[in-house]
Amino acid sequence: MTSNVKALVLAAGLGTRLKPLTDRLPKCLVTIAGRPLLDYWVDTLFEAGVSEARVNTHAHAGQVRAFIQGVNDCGRLNVTECYEPTLLGSAGTVAANLHFADDATEIILVYADNLSDVNLSEMLAFHRSHDDPFTILLFRAPVPEACGIVELDGAGRVVSFEEKPRQPRGDLANGGIYIVSPDAYREMASSGAFDLGRDVLPRFVGRMRGWHYDGYHRDIGTHEALAEAEQRYRSTGRKRRPAVFLDRDGTLIEHVHYLSDPAQVRLVPGGAEAVRRIKDAGFACVVVTNQSAIGLGLITETDLESIHREMNRQLAEEGAVLDAIYHCPVTGSGGDRTLIEHPDRKPGPGMLLRAADEHHLDLGRSWMVGDMISDVRAGRNAGCRGSILVLSGPESRRHSEGGSPPFEVASDLPEAVDRILATVAAPHDTSLLMESHR
């Protein structure tokens, strides 16, 4: 049976202990090391193979809605929204989304105010290894009195559960991540309860297994917790990834002068496989594209969104997903492509720098690939490890002629990815670093 894992992300909390931040920002979009808390969960769910995530919203719902639209636009994960004019409680949210389980094999429930390094694929494997309908993530709580505390039998089955006990029997605590069967989800939805921890979990005692996670897992519920998480992720570099930045036209898709029609979008040969290989090697994959056609009035932002939807659709058909797409609508003079005319317009580094900040990327381990001199210069100007010119665009061969160019050259995107991944296998090889040291 083919698996179809879904996720319900509980993100509508008011975050009162994080005021005044949450007076203007939903708690789930508070940033840690330059990334919204919810964005970490998008990556975690995507890496676990989740097909669809549903996020409940309440306060500042428009901001969360815009974030969801951005996730959907770049094709990382299919995300839908469940708006609650009045907060329903965690169990009430499940009840309001009863049919979300109809075609799922498992449903993951996540409290989005946690920050965690958890590997949900490992938790899913554990869930599938036993016969009970419910798996709960457990962690060692420093203050058990503030948590839901469980006891396990020798088989890892939960034999008692008490929410915020005055005299805890142990320190194994509810971590706010559950994996349940569709039948268990429907049972939760029909319980008439308000709160999962207080009202629902006790009903699954004897039918629920505990999965102990000893990695980083913390409720970001206070300013102290937020500051600790910020310091930890900044200082240790946790979650900071290298990226491969790709130009769009002539690099990832076939070049069409001032592309305006989604029907003209064609991936370059091997383009989707190249993106898959980039992601499989642990790199983020981000498109950065100059779109002066918008500045010239030839296309609109809506037209561009349609073009990118079609590009993402073609990539998804071959199992490839981009992490983000950035574009600059500013027009250029059409002259020297090595001169920075605007910080965001390549060769300006602005789009790469913004992506690094918003997606917490390590530019010093990242690469830029494109078919124009402005692309490879943008990589150098952003401080990337290296840049590669591909010869698949109409002007690329002119840029590579005239002796040995001060950057690497590849015939197309698949060959450029070969060269980048060779540096992963042999990290001390400096033959591809010419551009970054010029």
pLDDT, tens digit, 9 for 90 and up, residues 130-147: 999 999 999 888 888 888
Are the C-beta atoms of 422 and 429 separated by less than 8 Å? yes
Peptide bond connecting 36 to the previous residue in cis, omega within 30 degrees of 0: no
List, in order, residues 6 or more apart from 294 with CB less than 8 Å away: 300, 301, 304, 327, 329
Residue 397: is its pLDDT beyond 80?
A: no
336: left (phi over 0), alpha (psi -120 to 50) or beta: beta
- Is 247 an annotated catalytic residue? yes
Residue 427: is its pLDDT beyond 70?
A: no
HSE of 275, CA atoms in CB hemisphere, 13 A: 30
- Is 249 an annotated catalytic residue? yes
Summary mean pLDDT of the chain: 86
- Tell me what the mean pLDDT of segment 13-42 comes to: 84
Taking alpha carbons only, the member of 86, 57, 97 closest to residue 188 is: 97
Selecting among 43, 249, 344, 371, the annotated active-site residue is: 249
Are the C-beta atoms of 149 and 135 separated by less than 8 Å? no
Residue 304: is its pLDDT beyond 60?
A: yes
Backbone angles phi, psi at 204, to 5 degrees: -100, 5
Residue 238: is its pLDDT beyond 70?
A: no
- Tell me what the mean pLDDT of segment 298-303 comes to: 94
Q: What burial letters (b/e) apply to 279-312, b meaning 16+ CB within 10 Å?
A: beeebbbbbbbbbebbbeeebeeebbeebbebbb
Are the C-beta atoms of 293 and 306 separated by less than 8 Å? no
Which secondary-structure segment (H or E) carries 378?
A: helix 373-381
Q: How far apart are CA 277 and CA 18, in angstroms?
A: 40
* pTM exceeds 0.75 for this model: no
Q: Give the per-residue pLDDT at 171.
A: 85
Q: Give the per-residue pLDDT at 339.
A: 87
Lowest mean pLDDT among 10-19, 188-197, 280-289, 420-429: 420-429
- Tell me what the mean pLDDT of segment 399-425 comes to: 78
**pLDDT band at 429; cut points 50, 70, 90:** very low
Q: Give the per-residue pLDDT at 436.
A: 37
Q: Give the per-residue pLDDT at 405.
A: 57
- Tokens 């491969």 belong to which residue? 244
Selecting among 43, 113, 132, 247, the annotated active-site residue is: 247
Q: Give the per-residue pLDDT at 9.
A: 94
284 forms beta bridges with 243
Residue 428: is its pLDDT beyond 80?
A: no
Q: Give the per-residue pLDDT at 1.
A: 57
**pLDDT band at 292; cut points 50, 70, 90:** very high
Residue 123: is its pLDDT beyond 80?
A: yes
pLDDT tens by residue, 322-379: 888 999 999 987 677 888 889 999 999 999 999 988 787 888 889 999 999 999 999 9
Q: How far apart are the first and last CA of the chain?
A: 54
Peptide bond connecting 347 to the previous residue in cis, omega within 30 degrees of 0: yes
- Tell me what the mean pLDDT of segment 165-170 comes to: 84
Residue 293: is its pLDDT beyond 90?
A: yes
Are the C-beta atoms of 428 and 288 separated by less than 8 Å? no
Q: Give the per-residue pLDDT at 74.
A: 67
Q: How far apart are CA 342 and CA 321, in angstroms?
A: 29
Q: How far apart are CA 327 and CA 330, in angstroms?
A: 9
Residue 99: is its pLDDT beyond 80?
A: yes
Every domain of the chain and the residues it spans: 5-236, 243-437
- Tell me what the mean pLDDT of segment 54-68 comes to: 89
Q: Give the per-residue pLDDT at 236.
A: 59
Q: How far apart are CA 311 and CA 190, in angstroms?
A: 41
**pLDDT band at 251; cut points 50, 70, 90:** very high
Q: Give the per-residue pLDDT at 228.
A: 83
Residue 396: is its pLDDT beyond 70?
A: no
pLDDT tens by residue, 254-278: 999 999 999 999 999 999 999 989 9
Q: How far apart are CA 73 and CA 69, in angstroms?
A: 6
The CATH number corresponding to 243-437 among 1.10.10.10, 3.40.50.1000, 3.30.70.360, 3.40.50.1820 equals 3.40.50.1000
Q: Give the per-residue pLDDT at 93.
A: 92
Residue 208: is its pLDDT beyond 60?
A: yes
- Tell me what the mean pLDDT of segment 154-180 comes to: 88
Residue 435: is its pLDDT beyond 60?
A: no
Lowest mean pLDDT among 26-35, 109-118, 414-423: 26-35
Which secondary-structure segment (H or E) carries 136?
A: strand 134-140
Q: Cα–Cα distances in Å, from 271 out to 4, 42, 322?
A: 26, 24, 12
* CATH number of this structure's domain 5-236: 3.90.550.10
